[in-house]
Structure 1
């Protein structure tokens, strides 16, 4: 059997913490090999070793059967290994072409040959079916397009072995299907792919084989077409049976908590993206918002949480007008926010996990008194939340950026749910989480609802919306075009409404 990559008994330590405990992974030529594990299982660490970002304490790496020392990413590139990172490594002010050629710019004398660079980028994009605008700035293109730029960066450098690190964590369902087709096209062109993921549906759809690791240890490698179902993979991953379809208690909605009337919000370009939106959420219910990305979800959340001032309309919380208040005033009025962009709005990445756990409450007792911080109280709160929400971290003092994406998400959810606000806005709350963590987070949202809190759930995952919501509001072009009972609708009907298929019943 020809292996293009062999990682044999890899051990990686960070101080006393063992991130990879003698893990073996072997990639065949022309296959998509999934690397599956819980948040913090050591998947990204293992691939960072392969890409030369980390040096292992033990084990060896073979490329095409030959033992190699990959001391930095330049050596990985020379060996034909490219990595598409979970959090994109792009310069926002640069164009697509400038990002792709960065560091390998073709020269004409002493200047960059922009025309030949642009042509080479276009040739590669055409060869692999990766349509892009070579002249667009990164800040002006969608997340899905940015990911294509990352893929083209690796192909421009001649990669034959591609590592995709949680590539679908930030994509819409439509973009995920496009990416799957791109991966299949790459394999057809002779590439080999390692896919880091915890999404079982995608593994069943695209992978040939799957290696499972749990808490830094190798569990096994299976042929995907011989794997019975998603349940068996889930059990390998988390070490217990996972309940994908838990039955929740019936909602008992009470008084109106959030009342949005005639809301109009503009985006950063000055275009109206929320147009005369009306919405009510009651205590004791989960209202799910279904919609294709870009239909006003972000601006709606920003207007409710105080991150953006609406042009017109009213936001009332518990009968009190809070329209246009600052984020802190909104928080103190009783709003909790799990943001869709955990790096921009959820965490201060260079602060410790300890300090991130009290970002909303650090100025109140017991964490602060007469302007002096009580660090012991902060540490106790952080430890309690880390334990309750199973945030995998070596200590409370490590910076938030050192945690895996899924554990960063769990830290935000811990902080916001612990405050038990009157209105909890959960935007993509399970993005980047494994099945065990998703099950736990859904239970937390339902517990808040059972306490008589109002929960606004915004998600691009229709199965999540259908599973957790008590009512589903469909958002299209900045308006609610229909409200449905999850027990009486289907993914097909919701998809039809999300695409503007009809103006449905707008009543409750």
Structure 2
């Protein structure tokens, strides 16, 4: 059997913490090989060893049969290995072309040969079906397009072995379909792919084989064929049976908590992103918002939480206006917010997990007195939440930046749910989480609802909206166009309404 990559008995330590404990992974030429594991299982660490960002304490790496010492990403690039990182490594105010050639610029004399670079980028994008404007600035293009730029960066440098680190974690369903097509096209062109993921449906759809690791240890490698199921993969990943179709108790809605009337909010370009929206959420219910990305979800959340100014309309919380209050005042009024962008609005990455756990309450007792923070109380609280929400971290003093994306998300959810606010806004709460963690988070949202709290759930995962919501509000062009009972609708009807179809027209075409 020809292997293009062999990682044999790899061990990686961080102090006393063993992130990879004797792990073996072998990639065949021309295959998509999934690397599956829970949040914090050591997947990204293992791939960072392959890409030269970390040096292993033990084990060896072979590329095309030859033992190699990958001491840096430049060495990995020279060996034909490229990595598409989960959190994109792009300069926001550079163009697409400038980002792709950064560090590998073609020269004409002492100057960068931009024309040659631009033409090469165009040729590669056409060859692999990665349509993207070479002159667009990164800050002006979608997340899906930014990911294409990351892929083009690796191809520009001649990579024929590509590592995709949680590539679909920040993509919309449509962008995920496009990504799968891109991966299949890359394989057809002779590339080999390692796909880090915990999305079982994607593994079943695109992978040839799958290696599973759990808590840093190798569990096994299986062929993805007609005998493999999502349930079996989930059990390999988390070590127990996972309930994919949980049945939750019936809601008992009570008094009105959130009441939004004729809300108008503009986006950064001055265009109405929320245009006369009406929405209400009652105590003891979960209202799910279903909508294609870009139909006002972000601006709606930011207007409610004080992060963006509303132009007109009303936002009431417990019959009191909170429109255009500062974020702290909104929080103190009784709102919890799990933001869709955990790095921008959820965490201070260079703070410890302990300090991140009290970002909303650090100035209150018992964490602070007379302006002086009680470090011991902060860390004790953090440790309690870490244990309760299974946040995989060496200690509460570890910087948030050092945690896996899924564990960063669990830390935010722990902080917000623990305060048990009157209204919990959960925007993409399970983005980047494994099936075991998703099951746990859904249970937490339902638990808040059963405590009599109001929950507003915003998700691009229609399965999640249908499973957890008590009512569904469909958002289209900044307005709520329909309210549905999840037990009386399905993904097809939701998709039709999300695209602008009328409820009375469902099923006609």
Over residues 34-58 of structure 1, what are the superposed CA-to-partner deviations in whole Å (9 max), with x where a residue is unaligned?
0000000000000000000000000
Q: Which residue number corresponds to residue 263 of structure 1? A: 263
Helix, strand or coil: the match of 2:225?
helix
- 1:179: which partner in 2? 179
SS of the aligned residue for 1:466 comes to helix
Aligned to 1:273: 273
CA distance in 1 between partners of 2:265 and 2:108 (Å): 48
Distance in 2, Cα, partners of 1:228 & 1:379: 43
- The residue that corresponds to 2:216 in the other structure is 216
1:4 paired to 2:4: yes
Deviations 1:122-159 (A, max 9, x none): 00000000000000000000000000000000000000
**Structure 1 runs (4+) greater than 4 angstroms displaced:** none
Question: Are the aligned partners of 1:166 and 1:195 in contact in 2 as well (CA < 8 Å)?
Answer: yes
What residue is the counterpart of 2:15 in the other structure?
15
1:158 matched to 2:158: yes
Aligned length: 505
How far has the Cα of 1:434 moved from its partner? 0.2
1:503, CA displacement in angstroms?
A: 5.6
Q: Deviations over 1:232-258 (max 9, x none)?
A: 000000000001111101000001100
Q: Distance in 2 between matches of 1:73 and 1:504?
A: 56
CA separation in 1, counterparts of 2:264 and 2:109? 53
Structure 2 Cα separation of the partners of residues 43 and 422 of structure 1 = 37
5 Å-filtered alignment, 1:280-319, equals 280-319=280-319
User: In structure 1, what is the Cα distance between the partners aligned to 2:232 and 2:114?
Assistant: 51
| 1:253 matched to 2:253 | yes
Match in the other structure for 2:377: 377
Show structure 2 runs of 5+ residues with no match: none
> Displacement, 1:197?
0.2
Please tell me whether the aligned partners of residues 481 and 504 of structure 1 are also in contact (alpha carbons under 8 angstroms): no
The reply on whether 1:238 has 2:226 as its aligned counterpart is: no
Q: How big is the shift at 1:110?
A: 1.1
Instruction: Flag structure 1 segments of 5+ consecutive residues without an equivalent.
Output: none
Following the alignment from structure 1 to structure 2, what is the Cα–Cα distance between the partners of residues 306 and 458? 17
Q: How many angstroms does 1:231 deviate by?
A: 0.3
- How much has 1:227 moved relative to structure 2? 3.9
Question: What's the offset of the Cα at 1:504?
Answer: 6.5
Residues 379 and 397, structure 2, Cα contact 8 Å, conserved in 1? no
SS at match of 1:225: coil
Counterparts of 2:190 and 2:388, CA distance in 1 = 46
Task: Compute the TM-score of the two structures, normalised by the length of structure 2.
Answer: 0.99
SS of the residue aligned with 2:163?
Answer: strand
Q: What RMSD over aligned residues (CA atoms) do the two structures have, in Å?
A: 0.8
Residue 371 of structure 1 deviates from its aligned partner by: 1.3
Whether 2:473 is the aligned partner of 1:476: answer no
- Displacement of 1:226: 4.5
What is the deviation of 1:374?
Answer: 1.2
Deviations 1:3-38 (A, max 9, x none): 000000000000000000000000000000000000
Cα deviation for residue 228 of structure 1 reads 2.9
TM-score scaled by structure 1?
A: 0.99
Alignment check: 8 A CA contact 1:483 1:504 kept? no
CA distance 1:430–1:504, shift in 2 (3 Å): farther
Residue 84 of structure 1 contacts residue 163 of structure 1 at CA under 8 Å; is this kept in 2? yes
In 1, the alpha carbon distance for the partners of 2:186 and 2:62 equals 22
Other-structure match for 2:129: 129
